Structure 1
Amino acid sequence: MSIKMIAVDMDGTFLNDQKEYNRERFDQIFQQMKEKDIKFVVASGNQYDQLRSFFPENHTEMSFVAENGANIVVEGKPYYNAKLAMSSVLATIEGINALDPIVNVACGKKSAYVSQAISEEVFKSVSFYYPSIKKLKRLEDVVQQEDEIFKFALTFPNVGIEEKLAALDEVLAGEMIPVSSGHGDIDLIIPGVHKANGLAKLCEQWGIAPDEIAAFGDSGNDIEMLEYAGASFAMANAQAKVKQAAKEVIESNNQDGVLTTMARLLS
């Protein structure tokens, strides 16, 4: 099988638990990929501004399926973004409030938004994943911002997540789809707007078939991507349902599992 695209999730997959990766080793592998004309795609639930910060020297030579596929940037240039009707934004906020999350982030093309009631400790934590972020008096005031909202990111205590997913399914009634992103975090995505959909848009642009993709992930928001790709790899630390969706389970994110497998695919 000829690989023409490698797509990687970041947290719990490409990054170790210290939010780092072996940069020297990756630079060598990335050079090989460029020589072989293999596309490197970062596919994550996180904000584009955060994701590109991990690749300061070469982010314009790769592509990003950010915000779980709601915001796609190709080699430094905006390519696609989804958009949620503001009536749906307000309905979603109302439904979320009933479940009392620790934090609720409205994610837009220009910025992420939170209520000013958030504690400074939680705000600092959220800002790591969403460096472009604004506090609003009420989150509902996001409709007054000149932005396009395409995702919500929630945090709950890291217990009973399956029950929270089920409760969100019931409350949101198909308006948004809840997916686990690990460690008590849940993303709400527009139906059909997920990582696999983002990869499909890039495949159409580049003339790449799904069976020419190698994808890596560890959480529920990676499942569609792993099922879409011809070669799919779940980390040893992945959720059980993610391992079931992948064709192979590899070393953990703390053991350079992604880079080791990428090197094997390129050999």
Structure 2
Amino acid sequence: MSVKLIAVDMDGTFLDDRKNYNRARFAGQYQQMKAQGIRFVVASGNQYYQLRSFFPGIDHEISFVSDNGGWVVSENQDVFNGALTKQQYDTVIDHLLTLPHVDIITCGKRSGYTLQSYSEGFKRMAGMYYHRLELVDDFAHPDDVIFKFALNLPDDLLADTMDSLTAILEGIVVPVSSGHGSIDLIIPGVHKANGLRILQDKWGIKDGEVVTFGDGGNDIEMLCQAGFGFAMANAPDKIKQIARFQAGYNNEEGVLDVIDKVLKGEAPFNE
């Protein structure tokens, strides 16, 4: 069965630890993907506006499953976005504000929102991932469609916080790990795999024709859903155990090495 869709996570997967990738090598691969009719999708927990900045010149041709599936954009066209009700938003934010040591970003379609009162270091870090970020005095519901919360907290509090949020906010949002000291609260069922499913239905692409790459807890569903799910060599063991295949390290162009195999029809893509 031929591959018709390649979807990549960004941080720790497509990008190296310096937040870059081999642009010249990928540009050549992308032209071959187009010639072979293979769709390229960026599937990340990051904000749409940040993600498209990595692909100047082709951002209007490719598709983005951004904010962990909260907002799907294909060829500059809105395809899907989740939306929390004001009541759901208030329930979540009221609880989050009781948690010490947790910095919050509210993720909306127009912008991300975080508190002016947070540390300068956190606001600088947030600005790297949110190209549209408004500093606000409080977390009153903004005039925007809200589909995710991003939390930053000390690594040693991550596991316990995930457990407590799972219990307390059940049915409203689901916590997923998106990297060191980071938790995303997403709408139940509105994850990366759901975003890919929407695009697959739009294009008539079967799961067996999909290749996905990831390294974190927010990639699990799409690694399992795809016929060819690749965990990165730098991924935690629990991610490697659920993925059928493994790619090389993100710092060694592991994703691009596998894309070469797709384009050449080499194993495991020649079965």
TM-score range, shorter chain: over 0.9
Match of 2:162 among 159, 162, 165: 165
Does the CA-based 8 Å contact 1:251-1:257 persist in structure 2? yes
Where structure 1 has 5 or more consecutive residues not aligned to the other structure, the ranges are none
CA positional deviation for 1:208: 0.3
1:74-93 matches, within 5 Å, as: 74-93=74-93
1:216-227 matches, within 5 Å, as: 216-227=213-224
Point out the more displaced range, 167-176 or 223-232.
167-176
What amino acid does structure 1 have at the position aligned with 2:245? E
Partner of 1:5: 5
CA positional deviation for 1:173: 2.5
Q: Distance in 2 between matches of 1:204 and 1:173?
A: 29
CA positional deviation for 1:72: 0.6
Runs of 4+, deviation exceeding 4 Å: none
Does the CA-based 8 Å contact 1:154-1:187 persist in structure 2? yes
1:1-267 matches, within 5 Å, as: 1-139=1-139, 141=140, 143=141, 145-267=142-264
Partner of 2:268: none
**Which secondary structure does the structure 2 equivalent of 1:147 belong to?**
coil
CA positional deviation for 1:160: 4.0
Does the CA-based 8 Å contact 1:220-1:239 persist in structure 2? no
**Which secondary structure does the structure 1 equivalent of 2:100 belong to?**
coil
Over 3 Å counting, the alpha-carbon distance change for 1:101 and 1:211 in structure 2 is: farther
Q: Distance in 1 between matches of 2:72 and 2:170?
A: 26
**Which secondary structure does the structure 2 equivalent of 1:204 belong to?**
helix
Q: Deviations over 1:24-83 (max 9, x none)?
A: 000010000000010000000000000000001111110000000110110112211110
Q: Distance in 1 between matches of 2:2 and 2:105?
A: 39
Partner of 2:269: none
CA positional deviation for 1:101: 4.0
**Which secondary structure does the structure 1 equivalent of 2:196 belong to?**
helix
TM-score, L = length of structure 2: 0.95
Where structure 2 has 5 or more consecutive residues not aligned to the other structure, the ranges are 265-271
**Which secondary structure does the structure 1 equivalent of 2:260 belong to?**
helix
What amino acid does structure 2 have at the position aligned with 1:114? T
Q: Deviations over 1:61-119 (max 9, x none)?
A: 10000000110110112211110001111110122223324410000000000112112
**Which secondary structure does the structure 2 equivalent of 1:168 belong to?**
helix
CA RMSD of aligned residues (A): 1.0
